[in-house]
Structure 1
Amino acid sequence: MVKAVVAGASGGIGQPLSLLLKACPLIDELALYDVVNTPGVATDLSHISSPAKITGYLPKDDGMKHAFTGADVVVIPAGIPRKPGMTRDDLFKINAGIVRDLMKGAAEFCPKAYFLIISNPVNSTVPIAAEVLKAAGVFDANKLFGVTTLDVVRSETFVAEITGEKNPSKTTIPVIGGHSGETIVPLFSQAKPSVNIPADKLDALTYRVQFGGDEVVKAKDGAGSATLSMAYAGFRFAEKVIKAVKGESGIIEPSYVYLPGVEGGAEIAKLTGCDFFSVPVELGPNGVKKVYNVVSSANDYEKKLLEACYKGLGGNISKGVEFIQNPPK
């Protein structure tokens, strides 16, 4: 039996993500939680002829407790979306508080679950989640993931537009670092099968992967951000975690994890100077089985990108830790 929870299920990411999870045959029970509209979203999805039994909860009547109790996987897309002219940083104070409060509930009601954080800014919200879990004495670094799969999905898609590959997901591209702007570092040199990116297209391609979210915000003309592609990416990662939990081996996908707490992470933390970093993660029945050091194999072009990444990421991580250790008055 697998119980999945979507916390923030009524939002722009939460609804399509809940739809994809409801359609997934690997899930037996799906609980939706949000501050508005969840019973309606759950009722709508309950008419879909797939195995998952679905329930929807609001904060009243111990809704969070009912949603989280017994959960195996908790996916958190909750938060407000980025608006035009808004940096991921502007979102910080609001979304940081939302993630903190949800993780306090999770630490109490489902401390052994796998936590998949989508709420932006991921570079800071994952350290926030870790601090909350540490404070509650239930932190397991192998079970806390920042979902950076959208950067991977974009890399696959944009590279296919250059190479002509009909199925973009057939190309594996490690995208490492963080999950905003310059902290996102696609390692095209390590793509499998290898890809040939013309030198005159490399800068534009890299920029597009790093700032793909802005492309969506602009195209939606102020009416939203990347919700559908993010829902797909969140589902893709959640499905891989569930497959690994059920015993499938050899599943590797980049994710933003706490390096000092995972197998193979200490070496990468030393190289990068960052405790949290997105690297290819091999998933197993207990979450992170091991992480792979692709940093040391970066080429000269990618090393320059990584220098900028380390700088930005260090500040983002500190900001998240600081938010919990010294809460804003």
Structure 2
Amino acid sequence: MKVTVVGAGNVGATVANVLAGKNFCSEVMLVDIKKGYAEGKAMDIMQTSHLLNFDTTVIGVTAEIGDENGYAPTAGSDVVVVTSGMPRKPGMTREELIGVNAKIVKGVVDQAVKYSPNAIFIIISNPMDTMTFLTLKDSKLPRNRVIGQGGMLDSSRFRYFLSKALEKAGYKATPTDIDGMVIGGHNDKTMVPLTSIATYRGIPVTEFLSKEALDDVVAQTKVGGATLTGLLGTSAWYAPGAAAAAMVEAIALDSKKLMPCCVYLDGEYGEKDLCVGVPVILGKDGMEKIVELKLEGDEKAKFEASVQAARDTNAKLDEALK
């Protein structure tokens, strides 16, 4: 398994580091436009290999803008993870990044597809749902091979905030005790944490937490990224990097795991021609199946609103690419 990670910043380097430590990849290529940056990150990671007991080879590559051969070392990659673009700053929404990141992501994907036409693409760059849609449309790859990461990250944050609420209510809980899922767009206002199916040790969380406590968990989950951006001064990286690595692992090991991911809908959930977060089965062919939940009432209405928000952002693509 050869994996290319484009962007050697905080998120990309974390993806590469987590993948190396899991030891199922033969080679991880870390690519960046800044000369020497990816090479330095790769060298640093490789100097932990004896300490952490892994055999994965991590290689750094500089691919400057306009260098048509910069991606040649990535040829034959099985999976390409795209983290390129400007991260959020405090007070920014993900959607505000479209003007900068659309051109960057398009250029990266065009080069990566040229050298790895059979790769599965995992998109992290923001606004993620729209960058996933752009990648699919521009590359003309089949929809099973273009997958956005948002749902995995948002669900991890949801489980964290549920565990803290349970702890506050007097129960000893950690995120590993919780099953919970977020669907819809990777958007601070319209993502949909599904409290109705969240469980603590197999028991619905509604048995332990009041509506007010659950509403607070939902609110904290929605602004989870913005909260960290405010604390750190930039976008988070450990959880986003680990979430992407988990997706790569499911593909590499053909695990058929159910994960909430951003994929192209073509009639599922009554929606067409957009990419948005829903539960899917991930395996060696990428997105192998979309699992359709029976959404009802408030959650159905919120999912429809989230879909519309994704469409609204997609409508800005033509202008962003000019």
Normalization by structure 2: what TM-score? 0.88
Q: Which moved more, 1:168-177 or 1:11-20?
A: 168-177
Within 1, Cα distance between the matches of 2:218 and 2:240? Answer: 19
Contact 1:42 1:56 in 2 (8 A): yes
Within 1, Cα distance between the matches of 2:216 and 2:272? Answer: 28
- Give the 3 Å change call, closer, same or farther, for CA 8–58 of structure 1 in structure 2: same
Mapping 1:116-127, distance limit 5 Å: 116-127=122-133
Within 2, Cα distance between the matches of 1:27 and 1:165? Answer: 36
Secondary structure of the residue aligned to 2:179 is coil
Secondary structure of the residue aligned to 2:288 is strand
Amino acid at match of 2:79: V
Within 2, Cα distance between the matches of 1:178 and 1:242? Answer: 26
Secondary structure of the residue aligned to 2:161 is helix
**1:76 aligned to which of 73, 82, 93:** 82
Note the alpha carbon deviations across 1:166-205, whole angstroms, 9 max, x for none: 3413432221111112231111112242222311123221
Within 2, Cα distance between the matches of 1:308 and 1:145? Answer: 21
What runs of 5+ residues in structure 2 fail to find an aligned partner?
none
Note the alpha carbon deviations across 1:90-134, whole angstroms, 9 max, x for none: 211111111000110122111111100000100210111012212
In the other structure, the counterpart of 1:38 is 38
Tell whether 2:310 aligns with 1:308: no
Contact 2:153 2:243 in 1 (8 A): yes
Within 1, Cα distance between the matches of 2:273 and 2:33? Answer: 34
Tell whether 2:53 aligns with 1:55: no
1:279 deviation in Å?
0.8
1:165 deviation in Å?
5.4
**1:191 aligned to which of 179, 188, 198:** 198
1:159 deviation in Å?
0.9
Percent identical across equivalent pairs?
29
In the other structure, the counterpart of 2:154 is 151
What runs of 5+ residues in structure 1 fail to find an aligned partner?
261-265
Within 2, Cα distance between the matches of 1:232 and 1:165? Answer: 25
Contact 1:31 1:55 in 2 (8 A): yes
- Give the 3 Å change call, closer, same or farther, for CA 256–323 of structure 1 in structure 2: farther
Amino acid at match of 2:48: I
Within 1, Cα distance between the matches of 2:164 and 2:11? Answer: 25
- Give the 3 Å change call, closer, same or farther, for CA 233–29 of structure 1 in structure 2: same
Within 2, Cα distance between the matches of 1:107 and 1:219? Answer: 36
Note the alpha carbon deviations across 1:37-78, whole angstroms, 9 max, x for none: 111111111223211112111125766323420100111111
Amino acid at match of 2:243: A
Tell whether 2:6 aligns with 1:7: yes
- Give the 3 Å change call, closer, same or farther, for CA 122–99 of structure 1 in structure 2: same
**1:207 aligned to which of 211, 215, 219:** 219
In the other structure, the counterpart of 1:217 is 229
Contact 1:72 1:113 in 2 (8 A): yes
Secondary structure of the residue aligned to 1:103 is helix
Contact 1:113 1:143 in 2 (8 A): yes
In the other structure, the counterpart of 2:295 is 298
Normalization by structure 1: what TM-score? 0.86
1:273 deviation in Å?
5.5
Within 1, Cα distance between the matches of 2:230 and 2:175? Answer: 24
- Give the 3 Å change call, closer, same or farther, for CA 239–165 of structure 1 in structure 2: farther
RMSD between aligned alpha carbons? 1.9
Contact 2:265 2:272 in 1 (8 A): no
Secondary structure of the residue aligned to 2:165 is helix
- Give the 3 Å change call, closer, same or farther, for CA 124–47 of structure 1 in structure 2: same
Secondary structure of the residue aligned to 1:215 is helix
